Amino acid sequence: MRVNVQSVNFTVDQKLVNFTKKKLSKLEGHYNRIISANVFMKVQKTSTKENKETEILLNIPGHEYVVKKTYKTFEEGVDQCLNMLERKLERTKDRKKLKLN
């Protein structure tokens, strides 16, 4: 799986990129046909503490999933986006099993 990390309004450090790639690699355990993942990290210009937006675009054959979350840290946002993507991939896998039967 190819992983592309892009940052908007800040410079992403390698530690955050490695964290994100490591977490995304766990998705392949749920669904092994993932083509690529594009991660967009943005710092919103607001006065609230929850101003870090994480968006993940996941490409699999026949589908494209987009998940967006805003939290205090990018690590929290990545974790929550991955939880949602895991559920979506499980549902996709279940649907494919039903079509085959």
What are the pLDDT digits (tens) for 45-96? 877 888 999 999 999 998 899 999 999 999 999 999 999 999 999 888 888 7
Query: Full-prediction pTM beyond 0.75?
Result: yes
Tokens at 100, concatenated: 């085959």
Report the distance separating Cα 78 and Cα 7, nearest Å. Answer: 13
Cβ proximity of 39 and 2 under 8 Å: no
Task: Compute, in degrees rounded to 10, the torsion defined by CA atoms 80, 82, 88, 90.
Answer: -120
Helices (H) and strands (E) in the chain, counts: 2, 4
Give the domain ranges of the chain: 2-100
CATH of 2-100, one of 3.30.930.10, 3.30.43.10, 3.90.1580.10, 3.30.160.100: 3.30.160.100
Beta-sheet pairing, 36-43 with 2-8: parallel
